[in-house]
Structure 1
């Protein structure tokens, strides 16, 4: 009998669905437990659902039984890909869970920075009546979405409702619905120069690390707003701070950072033209239900075909 171990908590109904999808397998939930029994279950697991420090230890253990790791998040930059590849362990993600929540957060930041709602909220804290003379409009503007996956596509769809011109950057350059034009990354600076809003939806890979640096912020309009909901490491933080302080871009909405949690003394906290959220744009009460749909589909395919069918990580592209 094979063993499936989850390190994240599914409710009773969700756990029953997992067990039903895998007759002949034993399902074990070790979320919140740091016991010898939990560690033994992980060590003997054929399939692990989720990733944490305990799973990391199992990956590096020489005698683990792991054949497939189903990450319950979309990003894999914290997971040792080379080690999994060397072990012959398959890795899949929960990509597709986030589009609704994150696209809404993107537009919450975009509209707040454009209409100066963030400034009004800060003034409210000090009971200061200070109407802004610099409110703008998003309608009819140009937005570039860097990383045109599921989140980027949902964001593009919403942008079309504002009559925005939507430009995209993706590795293949292949066109996609809701985008007016799609380009490859070699045209990034050209796209940035046209954009009123730049939305970074990129995963963190060897190719995307510090993709946004001084050169890219210099290419952007001084009136442009930069939003990063992808990964903090895709942006050179020092270059971003310099661009914000020197007025080379107008503002930023940031949910991800090179260092998390963001230290209390970090200069980003005090910049008036920045909205910060603590890596939470993907949070939603529907998260585990949506993740479960992917997990069940992958489990059924694994049982019948020996591998998952959705969101298999490509070792070369690192996502």
Structure 2
């Protein structure tokens, strides 16, 4: 059975896939195009080769294993038309992203970025406006694996953890969960709002001008999901007017973030270049999921992390 990888996980790892019974083709994802040698490929393991690789030409393709959690890069109509199974890397990046969320809340509350600036200027000046995370109300819009890992790590701070999901289903580590229909009420009561919800047509600009106005003026917005979940222009204007204490953003509507974006110069905004998922364990965890699914597939077992392409997650 032939399998196409667009990333080389190293000699030992790739050999373990071969020992399962696969014939492996490895191509660089950045410039991959369809070639006749891909004619028999049944499985594609990738992130986003779809800009240059026309998978419609891969007539035997039955399954795509993504190395990402999000699926918005996938040509959904092709997948649906051809009955291709789609699985993602859900859970593979949740630990470092959970840590990143906690870090940014603390950086904002302890004003670390301003104190670092003072250090660079050799300026000794005490800041008496620092805040505590203790007993703050932290709201997660989306209660999947990323939110769960962050909520788990916030337990030691004795914060009050609130979640928003489709039906208000209770989730471990959350004190209370609300249905998405009560989003505005949740925004009103939270000190920190963390966006961990999948990007779909329904969640495009979920956080818009009206919902930003629902948040506390002392509130903090953190986004690690997808940039287009937030109306970026509305957020910029909202923050310019002093209606939000701070934001920590790892994702943006356009990436890389354009150099003329006002976000770069805002003192109360922390920007990172879609970096929250990175850690020394990223390839290890990613490969564990790939290997387990490869094993299941060749043995005819049910794959895990299967995505409902219609729902978008």
CA–CA distance in structure 2, aligned partners of residues 237 and 34 of structure 1: 31
Contact 1:42–1:58, Cα closer than 8 Å, also in 2 = no
Is 1:212 the counterpart of 2:207? The answer is yes
Moved over 2 A (4+): 31-36, 38-44, 51-58, 122-133
Matched, 1:151 2:150: no
Partner of 1:318: 312
Deviation at 1:56, TM superposition (A): 5.4
Instruction: Tell me whether 1:27 sits opposite 2:14 in the alignment.
Output: no
Deviations 1:93-143 (A, max 9, x none): 011111110011111111000000011123333444443232111111110
Given that residues 92 and 308 in structure 1 are in contact (C-alpha distance below 8 angstroms), is that contact kept between their aligned partners in structure 2?
no
The 2-side partners of 1:253 and 1:82 are apart by: 34
C-alpha distance in 2, partners of 1:128/1:65? 65
Structure 2, unpaired ranges of 5+ = none
- TM-score, normalised on structure 1? 0.93
Point out the more displaced range, 12-21 or 111-120.
Answer: 12-21
Conserved? CA contact 1:299–1:308, under 8 Å: no
Structure 2 CA distance for partners of 1:140 and 1:113, relative to 1, 3 Å? same
When residues 221 and 299 of structure 1 are mapped into structure 2, their CA distance, relative to the original with a 3 A threshold, is same
Q: Could you tell me whether the CA contact under 8 Å between 1:58 and 1:64 is conserved in 2?
A: no
Contact 1:144/1:167 (CA < 8 Å) preserved in 2? yes
The match for 1:229 among 218, 224, 247 is 224
Distance 2:89 2:267 in 1: 35
Q: After the TM superposition, which residues 26-45 of structure 1 pair with which residues of structure 2 at under 5 Å, given as runs?
A: 26-31=23-28, 34=31, 39-45=35-41
Map 1:6-85 → 2, pairs under 5 A? 6-21=5-20, 23=21, 25-31=22-28, 34=31, 39-53=35-49, 57-61=53-57, 63-85=58-80
The 1:121/1:66 distance shift into structure 2, 3 A limit, reads same
State the 1:35 CA deviation.
Answer: 7.5
Q: Which moved more, 1:170-179 or 1:275-284?
A: 170-179
- Structure 2 contact 111–130 (Cα < 8 Å) conserved: yes
Q: Give the distance between the partners of 1:71 and 1:35, measured in 2 at CA.
A: 16
C-alpha deviation, 1:216, in angstroms: 1.2
- Match of 2:54, SS? helix
Q: Identify the residue that residue 258 of structure 1 maps to in structure 2.
A: 253
- Which runs of no fewer than 5 residues in structure 1 stay unpaired? none
Which digits, 9 at most, give the CA deviation of each residue in 1:194-232, with x for residues without a partner? 111111011210111100011111111111110000000
Distance 1:187 1:226 in 2: 18
Given that 1:42 and 1:55 are in contact with CA atoms closer than 8 Å, whether structure 2 keeps it comes out as: no
Aligned pair count? Answer: 313
Range with bigger deviation, 65-74 or 296-305: 296-305
Give the match for residue 116 of structure 1: 111
Residue 179 of structure 2: aligned partner: 184
Q: How big is the alpha-carbon RMSD for the aligned residues of Structure 1 and Structure 2?
A: 1.9
Question: Which of 117, 120, 124 lines up with 1:125 in the alignment?
Answer: 120
The farther-off stretch of 227-236 and 27-36 is: 27-36
User: Aligned equivalents of 1:81 and 1:56: distance in 2?
Assistant: 16
Question: Partners of 2:156 and 2:86 in 1: how far apart?
Answer: 36
